[in-house]
């Protein structure tokens, strides 16, 4: 019983940190995407202003 307890406790903490790390990865990828979009739009505006 205690082995099952220990295993599921480990699963619980692992799942918790996987969820948090997954969100961090989503944030990083989204950040890169919107930064690229921002610089693309800035250069477009600059080109139109010339």
Partner 1 sequence: MRDKAIYILGILGTLLMIWNLHTIFVVLPGEAAQGQIGKMLFIHVPAAITAYSYYAVAVVCSIAFLVTKNFKYDSVAVSSIEVAQVFTLVNLVTGSLWGHVIWGIWWTWDLRLTSQFMCFMLYLGYLLMRPAIAEATQRATMSAILAIFAAADIPLVVMAIRLHNVRTQHPAPVLETGGVDATWWPPLATGYFVLMLIAAALVLVRLRQETVRREIDSLRRELHAM
Instruction: Name the site residues for partner 1 (rule: CB under 8 A).
Output: 1-2, 4-6, 8-9, 11-13, 15-16, 19-20, 23-24, 27, 30-31, 34-35, 37-38, 41-42, 44-45, 48
What's the CA gap between 49 and 1, in Å, rounded? 72
Q: Residue 21: count other Cβ atoms within 10 Å of its Cβ.
A: 10
Measured at the CA of 39, the angle between CA 44 and CA 22, to 5 degrees, comes to 140
């Amino acid at each position: 019983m205690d082995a099952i307890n220990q295993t599921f406790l480990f699963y619980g903490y692992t799942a918790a940190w996987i969820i948090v790390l997954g969100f961090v990865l989503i944030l990083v990828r989204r950040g890169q995407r919107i930064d690229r979009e921002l610089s693309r739009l800035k250069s477009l505006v600059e080109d139109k202003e010339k």
